[in-house]
């Protein structure tokens, strides 16, 4: 694979026999597509193999109601923030349809009356809003924002850093460890302390240090529990909040999120279109059964239909249990690594509820079903920290939450492509049901859970229930069976402390390489994942391209030395 521009790649492809490839990417989720695009851009003859009838994986737009195909929903992931400008620019994604509407404020209406809105970028209005609940908290808000911005300056660049293999004595690993230490030499004692707090505290304890009002703390806690199998009092949830607060959607406003026009599937389509333009082939309904191994190297893949396709480089973007435990013979992987993957934590207890609405929710606290600012951002069901905690405790005790927590959004506040004029789509990201619901469909119980979730919103906006035209419920079992999200975890693995940075997906293999030469790994279970950020796919492709370049250089040196 030459690290050459597209024209050279096209030339290389022109001379190659049909159906032969330099690189195969397993999985056509957004990370697989990013990897495919970068590999093809480097000149490699690249094939992306997707098991489903369409690409996108968890970043997908679908029409779940056969009788109402005019309604489209972002069936799983629903908002963008973390895709770095480098990838957007390199792949020219705007030209391929990447178009984001920055979303409005976090909005929470309260059962006891009143509401709060929190803005990503408007300190004056935040002060007004928070003052309704606590003057002290309103005054603390700018300091909190500045504190988070300071931490984002440290953590943001780390997202694009390849984690070093800490503890390894190999010269390359020692060099990378030193390079990371050098890059962060500017950190002072205070900042290191703040990062330590962020990494180890619960979001509840952290917010207690800053704020007093339950309403403000409830609103700010949301990002700490998104997709986690942990309530707000669990250590590590402060970091989850940071992970969801350091991106921006290209408008320069930290922590802001946005809606992709056409839903999240349009992000995947934009990346797919860029990959194809660079010459990648994308094959659908092409489920990979196993990775071929020859002479201790990855040598290709075998599809479920028995077809064998060979390539020198394989990039897998599947869940780690699937990629390493199901698709590679155990004899090809070291026991320590296998043990780490077997112990990989992959629970969430998330249920996605997608709704088609005849009209917008008419909140008692902010009346009117005409489009207003509070419909344009997150429409939360997280009135207090204790409310969120209760929902988690129910699920940990083995029952679905009686009153679930929800991060709701109404993308049609901006995006008119998803539903007919005058109607809306509402997407509810809800928690929790028991984590082991990934093992069985639990259909009737999920219906009852969705009823309760809808009732909670109906208490705040009494037109809500009657406005629902269609509903679609995706629980952990469907996430695993249909989308390959083992255990129903939304990120291919929990963002718990022991699964971050140099530990993601396993110590010694956080550099997007694997124990099997020729096999690279770029799913959300690697550093910077999860989320629709494309970084794992980008890094895995870069690792493969760099290794091929070194191998070519070594070969040239060998030839020269033989001649002389
Ligand atoms: C309910 C939910 C809500 C979320 N909300 C957000 C959000 O709002 N914002 C955000 O940034 N992130 C969100 N996420 C997380 C984010 O969507 C994921 O982290 C990300 O999409 C994963 O991308 P990926 O490419 O690594 O994997 P995937 O999207 O899982 O892609 C893997 C692909 O491999 C395919 N595949 C599986 N097995 C095989 C096989 N044997 N052969 C070939 N192909 C196979 C799958 O069909 C899939 O297309 C959410 C996730 C979920 C589930």
Q: Using alpha carbons, select from 101, 236, 85, 251 the residue that is nearest to residue 159.
A: 85
CA separation for the pair 410, 167 (Å, rounded): 47
Q: Using alpha carbons, select from 243, 237, 190 the residue that is nearest to residue 217.
A: 237
Tokens of 553: 């250089």
pLDDT value at residue 109: 98
Atom of ligand 1 nearest to the CA of 479: 53
- Binned at pLDDT 50, 70 and 90, residue 11 comes out as very low
Query: Residue range 136-150: average pLDDT?
Result: 94
CA–centroid distance, residue 548 to ligand 1 (Å):
28
pLDDT at 6 over 50: no
Per DSSP, the three-state class of 148 is helix
Per-residue pLDDT reduced to its tens digit, 434-465: 999 999 999 999 999 999 999 999 999 999 99
- Binned at pLDDT 50, 70 and 90, residue 246 comes out as confident
- Ligand 1 pocket, residue 226 CB under 6 Å: no
The percentage of the chain sitting over the pLDDT mark of 70, rounded to a whole number, equals 95
Using CA atoms, how far residue 540 sits from 58, 315, 316, 337, in Å, is 19, 7, 9, 18
Per-residue pLDDT reduced to its tens digit, 190-214: 888 988 998 899 999 999 999 999 9
pLDDT at 9 over 70: no
**Poorest-pLDDT segment among 13-17, 181-185, 187-191, 300-304:** 13-17
Given ligand 1 and candidates 25, 26, 28, 29, which is best to mutate, with the most ligand atoms within 8 Å of its CB?
Answer: 29
- Ligand 1 pocket, residue 58 CB under 6 Å: yes
- In DSSP notation, 491-530 reads TSS---GGGSGGGSSSTT--SSB-SSTTEEE-STTSTT-S
pLDDT at 4 over 60: no
- Ligand 1 pocket, residue 78 CB under 6 Å: yes
Question: What is the chain's mean pLDDT, rounded?
Answer: 93
Residue 554, burial from CB neighbour count under 10 angstroms (0-12, 13-18, 19+): exposed
pLDDT at 3 over 70: no
CA–centroid distance, residue 492 to ligand 1 (Å):
8
pLDDT at 254 over 60: no
pLDDT at 81 over 70: yes
Per residue, what are the HEC states of 166-223?
CCCCCHHHHHHHHHHHHHCCCCCHHHHHHHHHHHHCCHHHHHHHHCCCHHHHHHHHHH
CA separation for the pair 403, 418 (Å, rounded): 29
Q: Using alpha carbons, select from 438, 209, 256, 462 the residue that is nearest to residue 359.
A: 462
Per-residue pLDDT reduced to its tens digit, 209-230: 999 999 999 999 999 999 999 9
Q: Considering only CA atoms, which residue is closest to atom 10 of ligand 1?
A: 531
- Binned at pLDDT 50, 70 and 90, residue 8 comes out as very low
pLDDT at 248 over 70: no
More confident residue, 189 or 284: 284
- Binned at pLDDT 50, 70 and 90, residue 5 comes out as very low
- Binned at pLDDT 50, 70 and 90, residue 185 comes out as confident
pLDDT at 82 over 90: no
Per-residue pLDDT reduced to its tens digit, 44-80: 999 999 999 999 999 999 999 999 999 999 999 999 9
Atom of ligand 1 nearest to the CA of 287: 42
CA–centroid distance, residue 381 to ligand 1 (Å):
25
- Binned at pLDDT 50, 70 and 90, residue 253 comes out as low
Using the 8-state DSSP alphabet, how is residue 461 labeled? S
pTM of the full structure: 0.95
Neighbours of 18 (CB within 10 A): 5
Query: Residue range 103-121: average pLDDT?
Result: 95
């Amino acid at each position: 694979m030459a690290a050459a521009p597209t024209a050279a790649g096209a030339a290389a492809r022109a001379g190659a026999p049909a159906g032969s490839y330099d690189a195969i990417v397993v999985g056509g989720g957004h990370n697989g597509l990013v990897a495919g695009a970068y590999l093809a851009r480097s000149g490699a003859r690249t094939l992306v193999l997707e098991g489903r009838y369409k690409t996108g994986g968890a970043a997908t737009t679908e029409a779940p109601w056969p009788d109402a195909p005019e309604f489209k929903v972002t069936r799983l992931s629903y908002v963008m923030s973390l895709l770095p400008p480098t990838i957007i620019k390199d792949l020219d994604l705007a030209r391929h349809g990447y178009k984001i509407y920055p979303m409005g404020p976090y909005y929470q209406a309260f059962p006891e009356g009143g509401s709060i809105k929190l803005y990503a970028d408007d300190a004056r209005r935040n002060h007004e809003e928070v003052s309704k609940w606590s003057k002290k908290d309103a005054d603390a808000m700018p300091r909190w924002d500045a504190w988070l911005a300071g931490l984002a300056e440290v953590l943001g660049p780390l997202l694009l850093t390849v984690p070093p293999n800490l503890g390894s004595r190999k010269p390359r690993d020692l060099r990378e460890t030193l390079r990371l230490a050098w890059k962060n030499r500017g950190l002072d004692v205070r900042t290191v302390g703040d990062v330590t707090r962020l990494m180890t505290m619960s979001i509840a304890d952290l917010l207690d240090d800053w704020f007093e009002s339950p309403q403000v703390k409830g609103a700010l806690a949301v990002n700490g529990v998104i997709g986690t199998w942990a309530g707000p009092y669990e250590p590590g949830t402060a970091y989850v909040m940071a992970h969801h607060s350091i991106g921006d959607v290209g408008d320069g406003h930290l922590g802001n999120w946005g809606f992709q026009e056409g839903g999240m599937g349009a992000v995947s389509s934009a990346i797919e279109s860029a990959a194809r333009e660079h010459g990648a082939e994308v094959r659908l309904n092409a489920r990979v059964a196993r990775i071929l191994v020859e002479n201790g190297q990855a040598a290709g893949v075998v599809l479920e239909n028995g077809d064998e396709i060979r390539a020198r480089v394989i990039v897998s973007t599947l869940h780690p249990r699937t990629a390493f435990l199901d698709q590679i013979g155990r004899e090809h992987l070291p026991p320590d690594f296998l043990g780490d993957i077997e112990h990989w934590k992959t629970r969430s207890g998330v249920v996605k509820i997608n709704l088609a609405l005849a009209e917008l929710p008419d909140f008692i606290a902010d009346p009117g079903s005409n489009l207003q600012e509070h419909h344009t951002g997150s429409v939360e069901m997280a009135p207090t920290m204790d409310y969120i905690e209760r929902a988690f405790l129910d699920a940990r005790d083995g029952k679905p939450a009686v009153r679930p927590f929800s991060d709701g959004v109404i993308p049609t506040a901006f995006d008119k492509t998803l539903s007919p004029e005058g109607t809306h789509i509402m997407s509810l990201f809800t928690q929790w049901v028991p984590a082991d619901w990934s093992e069985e469909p639990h259909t009737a119980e999920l219906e009852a859970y969705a009823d309760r979730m809808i009732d909670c919103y109906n208490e705040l906006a009494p037109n809500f229930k009657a406005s629902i035209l269609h509903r679609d419920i995706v629980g952990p079992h469907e996430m695993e069976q249909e989308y390959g999200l083992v255990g129903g975890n939304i990120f291919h693995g929990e963002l718990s402390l022991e699964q971050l940075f140099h530990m993601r997906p396993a110590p010694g293999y956080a550099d997007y390489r694997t124990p099997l030469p020729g096999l690279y790994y770029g799913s959300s279970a690697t550093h910077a994942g999860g989320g629709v950020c494309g970084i794992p796919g980008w890094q895995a492709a870069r690792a493969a391209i760099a290794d091929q370049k070194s191998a070519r250089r070594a070969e040239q040196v060998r030839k020269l030395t033989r001649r002389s």
